[in-house]
Amino acid sequence: MTHPTSYPKSSQYAHDLSTIYAECSGPGGLQLTEFMAEKMVLRPNARLLDIGIERGYQTCFLAKEYGVQVIGLDPDDDRTDGLPHIEHLMRNARKWGVEDQVIGLKLGVPETHFAANTFDFVYSTTTLEMVRGFFGEVLYRQCLTEIYRILRPGGIFGLGEPMHLDVSIPADLAPIYTQGDGAGPEGWAKCFATVNETVAACRVSGFEIIEAGEAPDGWHWWDEFSRNDPHCKADPDGEAKVIQQDGGRWLTYGYVIARKPE
Ligand SMILES: C[S@@+](CC[C@H](N)C(=O)[O-])C[C@H]1O[C@@H](n2cnc3c(N)ncnc32)[C@H](O)[C@@H]1O
C-alpha cells in the first residue's frame, strides 16, 4: 500500500513495527507523532505535556527527535503486565537516552492539578476519544477546557484522534459499532466524532484553530495497526477483521492544531 507523506525522523525506527505497535496503542505509531510534531512546530527545550502515553514510546520519540522537555500523563496500568504506564515510560526513556528530559505522572485529564499557563505545548493522540466513549461528551469537553487552562497564552495544542468520515455508518458495520461503550469496535460509534465536530468542541473551549483535517495517511495507519498491534495479531477475527471490513469507508484519523490566544 502506498502512502504520500515522508517521515524522515520516524523512518529510522520503521524497521521494527512490532515494537512500535507493542509500545504505542493505536493507529500511526511514530509516524503519527512525527506528523503531529511537524504540524505543531515543536522547538527544543519547550515544555510539552503528553496526555495518554501508553508505554511512552511516542513521548520518548518527541524528547529525542525534537529536544522537548516532556511530562507524560497516564492514570492507568498496562493491560499486559499490570505495571503503571509511567513505569514503562521511564524504562523507555532510559532505552532512548532521554531520562533527563522525561517525567511520568500517574494522573489523567481532566484533573491534572497543574497551574494555569504551565505548558508551551500539549500533545494527545488516541486518548480523548476514549474518554468520550467511556465517560461522555461532557467529560470530553472538560478535558479540552483543562488543556486550555494549563497551556500558556500562545501555546499550541495538537490533538490526534481516530475519527469517522462525515457519512452514515455502513449498514454492515452499524450493528458492530453501535453495540457498546468499550474501547473495542463495539464502542466506536460513541467514541469517534468527525473533524468538524472536534473543531467545534475546541472552539467552544476557547481555542483558535490553526489547522484541522483528516491525516492523509490515516487509513494506512489503521491498516498498519490492524496488522501489527499485538492484541489485533492475537485475535485476527476480532478488531483487526472489523478494521479490514471497514476499509476506510467510515474510519479515518483526524487532527486539530489549535492555539490558546495571546
Ligand atoms: C489508546 S492509548 C494511546 C497511546 C498513544 N498516545 C498512541 O497514540 O498510541 C490511550 C492511553 O490513554 C490513557 N488514558 C485513559 N484515560 C486517560 C485520561 N483520563 N487521561 C490521560 N490518559 C488516559 C490510557 O491508559 C492509554 O495509555
pLDDT value for 4: 56
Q: Please report which confidence band the pLDDT of residue 6 belongs to, taking 50, 70 and 90 as the band edges.
A: confident
30-54 tens-digit pLDDT: 999 999 999 999 999 999 999 999 9
Distance CA 211, CA 199 (A): 9
60-116 tens-digit pLDDT: 999 999 999 999 999 999 999 999 999 999 999 999 999 999 999 999 999 999 999
Ligand 1 centroid to 165 CA: how many Å?
22
Ligand 1: residues with CB < 6 A are 24-26, 51-54, 58, 73-76, 85, 108-109, 125-127, 130-131
Stated as kind and residue range, the H or E segment containing 195 is: helix 195-204
Q: How many CB atoms lie within 10 A of CB 13?
A: 18
Q: Please report which confidence band the pLDDT of residue 1 belongs to, taking 50, 70 and 90 as the band edges.
A: very low
pLDDT value for 15: 83
Distance CA 117, CA 105 (A): 18
Q: How far is CA 86 from CA 6, 51, 55, 76, 183, in A?
A: 30, 11, 7, 9, 20
The residue nearest atom 24 of ligand 1, judged by CA position, is 52
The residue nearest atom 1 of ligand 1, judged by CA position, is 25
Whole-model pTM over 0.85: yes
